Amino acid sequence: MATYNKFNAFVADLANKVHNFGSDTFKIMLTNTAPTAANAVKADITEISSGNGYSTGGASLTLTSSSQSGGTYSYKATAANPTWTASGNMATFRYVVLYNSTAASGNLIAWWDNGSGVSLTTGQTFTVTLDGTNGVFQIA
């Protein structure tokens, strides 16, 4: 997986109790428009078109564990990494975005850059491989 990039608003959202990593639903969506650290909510991101294996809103994550040890909190997800299989020519994307779909505005958390556009044709798959050891992110 590419390098983790945090949205700046994520820090304030944590302090303002926007996210509950114990009960909220978190999703990964795909975009071909570069996110910026200043983006704050899902509406700030241009998601790829639904169809041919991709559904609007992206794929839900399943929390496998979250824990705190020595002042570092680690959020780990998912038992099955999100995967999309094209059933036609899926819209090209480059960026993978993590957001909170429970929060009314779809508050953004982080994004990853694949380095170039990804184009899937019928039968091809794309899997987001999250770090099962260190977690999706850590807060220290």
**Average of per-residue pLDDT across 16-28:** 90
66-to-49, 76, 137 alpha-carbon distances in Å = 32, 6, 10
Contacts for 25 with CB less than 8 Å, ≥ 6 apart: 60, 100, 101, 102
> What is the reported pLDDT for 65?
72
Residue 140 has pLDDT above 70, yes or no: yes
**pLDDT for residue 4:** 86
Nearest alpha carbon to residue 77 among 67, 62, 58: 62
Q: Domain limits at 87?
A: 4-139
Domain total in the chain: 1
Residue 133 confidence (pLDDT): 74
Q: Is 126 in a helix, a strand, or coil?
A: strand
Residue 106 has pLDDT above 90, yes or no: yes
Whether this prediction's pTM lies above 0.85 is answered by yes
Q: Which residues contact 5 (CB under 8 A, 6 or more apart)?
A: 35, 37, 110, 111, 112, 113
User: What's the CA gap between 35 and 14, in Å, rounded?
Assistant: 20
CA atoms of 72 and 55, how far apart (whole Å): 34
pLDDT at 73: 77
* Residues 42-96 pLDDT 10s: 999 999 999 999 999 999 987 777 777 888 877 776 557 899 999 999 999 999 9
Instruction: Give the three-class secondary structure for 43.
Output: helix
Q: Whole-angstrom Cα distance, residue 21 to residue 13?
A: 12
